[in-house]
Every structure is written in structure tokens, then in C-alpha cells.
Structure 1
Amino acid sequence: MPCPRCDVAIRVTCALSLAFVTCQSRAQSSVTLYGEIDGGVAYVNNVGDHSQYKVTSGVIDGSYWGLQGVEDLGGGAKAIFRLERGFSVATGEGFNDHPVYVGLGTEMLGTITFGHQYDSIHDYFAPFTLTGGTGGTAFAHLLDNDNANNSFLAANSVKYTSANYGGFTFGGLYAFSNLAGQFANNRAYSVGANYSMGPFNVGAAWLHNNGRGNTDNGAYEPLALPGSDGAVFDAIVARQNTFGVGASYAFGDFTLAAAFSRSINSGVTNAETGEAAASLALNNYEINGVYQLTSAFALAGMYVYTNGGGAHWHQGALQADYLLSKRTDVYIESIYQRASSNAPAVINTNDPASGRNQLMVAAGIRHRF
């Protein structure tokens, strides 16, 4: 016969083991490998008075790989991290154009993260533009002056993202200069909010920079601006304020959206020559639509008018996208831009045109994993 005391010990051991397994199942962690590869070919006219044929990488989305992890801390709290790295399909070159952060969050209080991150323009304004959604990189406003295409991420940043309160979300970011005795030299902060109610969505965001691009290890790098001589130059900006507002409404399979942004740059210096340049404010007015004809086939189009500094730009774009599977799609798109005299025509991801007009026609394949 088994010993009664041994039987009790076995039962206690089994109970403790079961409790340990149960606790571990409640506090599980997960790490996911994911990414996207976007490559194709493109024709661009009017580059150095010649046509250009090239292999493309990331015409819609920049190619990248990533790791994302979540650990359940119990009580509704979790620890998270995200590590992404961009690269060129054409050359294999790596890019520091994706987020890297770690943080903590709860379902009730929201999430706080630390690292190299998207700002509030990306989170709350960009989704109402085609560059921040279906259209992607080449659909950016002139030189991505409002950062709707997230050409730049905020370094040294602390970011808060709220929970969803009945369709209302909000957040903010602060990016440190990381310079001793120069707290405001190349620092930035942004805030934004979004409200969603059925087919209707609206959002707004504001981004402020001090001494943008003035240091190597601060919040942001220099940005590209159009010059009065028809050229494009990298600029250091003493004060930059960018704000945007957008709204969208879904009429069944068709979604119509409108967006407005204004980027104000004062105290501008040419990053290469050190010469002072004129202050410049750029306004972007966009209207766009996406029509989901079938579950696999979608059409998208937009028109953007940009003005500022005595110049203006018209840009129109069309895109057709077809899903071969849940992870793979093929696309074709065309973007045309016309600038006023003495202003550079330049479609995002391309070299500036040698005249007032530039046309890009691209086709590619995109795979997500």
C-alpha cells in the first residue's frame, strides 16, 4: 500500500507544479519576426534633361525587417519592444528610418515608450493622406515638408499613446537634444489626437523643433527645402512648426479624405555652405480617395496643391493594387508634378527635375512576412 504521507506529498507537489504552469501561462511573452520587401522598376522623365530607368526599393513602403515583443506583467500591464531596420532591395544598403523602442503599457492608462520613434504627425495626421496610407512613399507632399511620409523619426524621444476612450485617442512625444548645457538645441515635441465614429474619422497634430539639424545627436536631422533658384538644399532650421488636420468618410467601399498641413521654417541656414536662407512656410492641400473594387483589387488617387515662398506646385497621382495572396501584391502607379517658374519639380524618392515638370511611372511587387 502507498504511504499516506507520500500520497499527500505527491498531491502537494502536483498542485504546486500546476500553479506554476498556470502562472507561467498567464505571464507569457512573445517575440514576432516580421517585415516587408517592396521592389520594382520605374521610369522618371526630365532628370538632367534625360529620362531615367531604374530599379526601385520601397516605392509604396520602405523595405524593412523587424522584431516585436510583448510580455504580460499581470494586472493588465505589459512590457513591449520594437526593433526595425530598413534596407534597399536594389543595393542592400541599410537605413535608420524605422522605429526602435522599449516601453510599458496598460489597457486603461495607455503606453509610454523610449527610443527612436514616429512623431504625432505620423500617428494622427498622416493616415488622412495617401502618403501615410495606400499610396506610400512616392505620394509624399513636396520634399515631405510636413513629415507625413515619416522621412524623419525623432531620436532620444519619450512618447505617450493613450488607450481608446470611446473612439477618442491622443498622444504626445518629447525628443531630447542630449547636449549638456544646450537643452533646447535640436530638441522637439509634438501632440496629436484622433476621433473615430463609424465611417467618420478626424485627426490633428502639431510638431515643434528647435535648432533642427544643428547637432549630430539631437532629435532631428536637417530637412530638404526648395530654394528660390530652382534647386533643393539641406537646411538647418532654428524654429520649425508643423501642424496638420485631416478627415475621412467611408461610403461603403469608397473612402474619401481631405488633409491640410502647414510647415513653417524660420532661421534657415544652408547645411552645406553655412549661408543664411530665407524663412519659408509651405502649405499642403490634399484630397484623395480609395476605392476597394473587390477584396483583392483597389484603386487610389489624389491631388495635392502646395504653395509657399512665392512658388507653388501641383501634384496628381493614381495607383492600382492587386492582391495575389494575403501577403503578396503587385501594383502600378503614376505621379505627375508641375512647379511654378524658378521652383524645383521633385517627386519624392527621385532626383529634382531639370525643368518645371516631372513624371514617374512605377510598377512593383510587395511581400509581407
Structure 2
Amino acid sequence: MSKKLLVSALTVAGLMGISDAAQAQSSVTLYGIVDGSILYTSRTATANGGHQFSMTDSGMTASSFGMRGSEDLGGGMRAIFELENGFSVANGQFNNSNGGMFGRQAWVGIDSKFGTVKAGVQYSPFFLALYDMDPRAMSYFGTGLVSYLDNVLITGLFNSNSITYTSPEIAGLQASGLMALGGTAGNFQAGRQYSASLRYHIGGFTITGAMYNGNEGGTAVPISTVAFVGRTLGASYRFPNDLAIYASYALYKVAGSFSNSVYSGGFSYFVKPYLNVNAGVWYTHDGAHIGGESNHSIMASSGVQFFLSKRTTLYGQVGYVNNSGLMDTGLSVNNALFGVRGSTVGASLGIRHMF
């Protein structure tokens, strides 16, 4: 081998070694969910109020794709990031993504033994506490997610301009806090949001409390900034036989408008490793009595998931909602978020694939 070829070979080998070392210290993962279903509701909030059959994007979980990555910085410290997009399997357009390429999540941060700091578009501790205590894992049909969006849209769910800190778990306790800046010159209060949570678990028992305060305005367009105060307290217990039970309370106090209290409870049970059955009930009451009426609703739903594999799931969901007064609770995030006075029943059949 000539000296030139030998030098070239050693150079390539060296670069490959550097590349292998870099790959061992950092990683990027592409992930996603594709979820589509058929939705039926006996009544709708449209002009004619009749029943509907529709192809629905994200019948149980948001269809999305994203990237997450990390780099080992040494000393137990990592640089981390995540970018997540939401899309519709029905038409291929943006959906559940706030109209942005990465409207669901877009953050960068540092993770260490002292906790995790992140900056960018991310979920609030208030929403994550609600998610943690939902018996049906915040399905897009008949869960606390429908109630959340019905009350305050996506305010407090996706938070732009935000900085969060999550502590390590110490003796079963873990705390998290968020501050989102409005970005309006000369007006610190416009669009400002803050949230905090405290979680404790021991064995199968978990209790979580969280708060949220947010103002309207700011530069976080098109992300929603409804001015509201949120509070929640919930508990769950997971038995050794894969049965989990849940109970929680949530308050949505919208400035100058309603003050809805939501009481919920339910269970999730893995009958077999490939078969999950879950159910929940959500009772909502407007303490502000907007319109001088007794405004309340009750929503009940149940779901079955059959796991064809670790990645592919067939599911069925049924639900019932009854609205009194001015309450407008619906059954499905997509195509039936708001409901009409009286009783409505609905069902959803779909398939979800995760990659």
C-alpha cells in the first residue's frame, strides 16, 4: 500500500472512531403516533343538531411525530431537546398542533442529578397533574381532556415562551414549576403564565396537587391565552394485579365568566397484558351561575384497548353526556368538543400505531 493510501485509510479509520464515540455520547430518536377512528354522536352542536358519523383524526391519542435527543456532557449532566408536530390522518394537514410545525413541543434543556430545566413550548405542571390522575389517560374521547379544552381551550396545555424546572424525586416527593413570559414590551402582565405542582408517591399510592395562573394577551400567537385560574388535587392507587383507581378535583375559574368545578373518578385495568378496560365519570358544576341557571353536566365513558403488538392497538370507546342550563360539554376533542343541552350518546372505533 502506498504511503498516500495508508494515510487516507488511517484518517478514515480515525474519523469513524470519532463518529462512533460521538454516537455513544449523544442520540436522536424519531417517534410518532398515527391514530384514526370513526366517530358517532347522537346529537351535535351544529345548526341542525342531528346525529353524525365522521372520520376522526386522533380518536384516542394525538397523531404526531417528533424528535427527541440528548448529549452526555459528563458529570451526570445531559443536554436534551424535543420537537413535536401534530397532524391529521384525515387530510394530512396540521392538527392539534396550534398551526405550527412543532406546535406541540419545541424545547431545549439540561438534565442533571439536581433536576431538569427546559425552555420553549411545553406542557404546564397543571396539565401534567391532570393527565396523571385521568383514569382514561386523557383519551381524545370522553375524558378530562374534553373537559379541559371545553373550559379553557389549549391555554396552559401548550405554553410558549416558557421556562420550567422539575426537581429530582426525594423521599417520594417531586416538585415542578413553570414561568411563561408574555413578551409584550412595557407590559409584564400581558400573556404571563405560571404553574406549579407537587407530587408524592409511596408504593402504589400517588397524590398530586397543582395550580395555574395565566393572563390574556402577549406574543404567544397562535397559542391560546385565556385568562384563568386553575387548581387541581388528585389521588390514585395501583394494585399489584394491574388495577388502578383514580379520583380528582379540578377548578377552572375564567376571568369575568364561569367558575367550573370538575369532580372525577374511574379505573383502568389490564385484564390481560394485551387487553385494557377503563372507565370514568366527570361531573362539572358552574359555581358562578352564569345566566342565572344551574349549569352542570355529567359525562361518563368507557374504553377497551386490544394490543395487537407493542406498537399497534385496536380500540373502542362509548360515552354519554347530559348538559343542563348553559353547560356545553361535548364527547370528543375532534368533531364534537362542544355539546347541546340534554343527553347525547356517542361511540368511537379506531386503530393506533406507534413508532
CA distance in 2, matches of 1:190, 1:357: 35
- The residue that corresponds to 2:65 in the other structure is 65
- The residue that corresponds to 1:217 in the other structure is 220
1:334 aligns with 2:284: no
Native 8 Å contact 1:285 1:306 kept in 2 = yes
Q: Please tell me the residue identity of whatever aligns with 1:62.
A: A
Structure 1 residues 150 and 136: CA distance shift in structure 2, 3 A: farther
More divergent stretch after superposition (62-71 vs 134-143)? 134-143
1:79 aligns with 2:79: yes
1:176 aligns with 2:165: no
- 1:30-41 matched pairs, under 5 angstroms: 30-41=27-38
Secondary structure of the corresponding residue to residue 330 of structure 2: coil
Secondary structure of the corresponding residue to residue 144 of structure 1: helix
Deviations 1:122-157 (A, max 9, x none): 2233210135x1644541353535679888311100
CA distance in 1, matches of 2:57, 2:108: 28
Structure 1 residues 148 and 296: CA distance shift in structure 2, 3 A: farther
* Residue segments in structure 2 that go unaligned for 5+ positions in a row: 1-9
- 1:307-322 matched pairs, under 5 angstroms: 307-308=285-286, 309=289, 310-322=294-306
Q: Please tell me the residue identity of whatever aligns with 1:250.
A: R
Please state how far the C-alpha of 1:45 moved relative to its aligned partner. Answer: 1.6
Q: Please tell me the residue identity of whatever aligns with 2:37.
A: G
- The correspondence for 2:198, drawn from 178, 185, 193, is 193
- The correspondence for 1:285, drawn from 263, 267, 271, is 263
Q: Please tell me the residue identity of whatever aligns with 2:245.
A: L
CA distance in 2, matches of 1:57, 1:151: 23
Deviations 1:4-23 (A, max 9, x none): xxxxxxxxx9xxx8xx8699
- 1:20-39 matched pairs, under 5 angstroms: 24=21, 28-39=25-36
Q: Please tell me the residue identity of whatever aligns with 1:286.
A: S
Structure 1 residues 281 and 341: CA distance shift in structure 2, 3 A: closer
CA distance in 1, matches of 2:20, 2:339: 62
Structure 1 residues 366 and 23: CA distance shift in structure 2, 3 A: closer
Secondary structure of the corresponding residue to residue 93 of structure 1: coil
Please state how far the C-alpha of 1:195 moved relative to its aligned partner. Answer: 1.2
Structure 1 residues 200 and 219: CA distance shift in structure 2, 3 A: farther
CA distance in 1, matches of 2:155, 2:269: 24
TM norm structure 2: 0.84
- The correspondence for 2:42, drawn from 40, 45, 64, is 45
Native 8 Å contact 1:291 1:300 kept in 2 = yes
CA distance in 2, matches of 1:192, 1:148: 20
User: Quick one: percent identity of the two aligned structures?
Assistant: 28
Deviations 1:303-362 (A, max 9, x none): 111000330001100101100001001000011110113433422421534442222200
Native 8 Å contact 2:123 2:156 kept in 1 = no
- The residue that corresponds to 1:232 in the other structure is none
Structure 1 residues 326 and 54: CA distance shift in structure 2, 3 A: same
Matched residue pairs, number? 323
Structure 1 residues 57 and 158: CA distance shift in structure 2, 3 A: same
Structure 1 residues 263 and 116: CA distance shift in structure 2, 3 A: same
Structure 1 residues 62 and 100: CA distance shift in structure 2, 3 A: same
1:302 aligns with 2:286: no
Native 8 Å contact 2:323 2:339 kept in 1 = no
Native 8 Å contact 1:141 1:304 kept in 2 = no
1:324 aligns with 2:321: no
Structure 1 residues 41 and 89: CA distance shift in structure 2, 3 A: same
- The residue that corresponds to 1:276 in the other structure is none
- The residue that corresponds to 2:161 in the other structure is 156
1:125 aligns with 2:130: yes
- The correspondence for 1:346, drawn from 326, 330, 351, is 330
Secondary structure of the corresponding residue to residue 126 of structure 1: helix
CA distance in 1, matches of 2:117, 2:166: 6
Native 8 Å contact 1:195 1:201 kept in 2 = yes
Q: Please tell me the residue identity of whatever aligns with 1:339.
A: N
| Aligned Cα root-mean-square deviation (Å) | 2.6
1:102 aligns with 2:108: yes
State the structure with more CA Rg. 1
CA distance in 2, matches of 1:145, 1:351: 6
CA distance in 1, matches of 2:317, 2:309: 20
TM norm structure 1: 0.81
Q: Please tell me the residue identity of whatever aligns with 1:318.
A: S
Please state how far the C-alpha of 1:44 moved relative to its aligned partner. Answer: 1.2
- The residue that corresponds to 1:10 in the other structure is none
Deviations 1:59-100 (A, max 9, x none): 211100010010000111110110000001111111235111
CA distance in 1, matches of 2:234, 2:185: 38
Structure 1 residues 141 and 264: CA distance shift in structure 2, 3 A: same
CA distance in 1, matches of 2:345, 2:299: 10
* Residue segments in structure 1 that go unaligned for 5+ positions in a row: 1-12, 223-235, 268-278
- The residue that corresponds to 1:113 in the other structure is 118
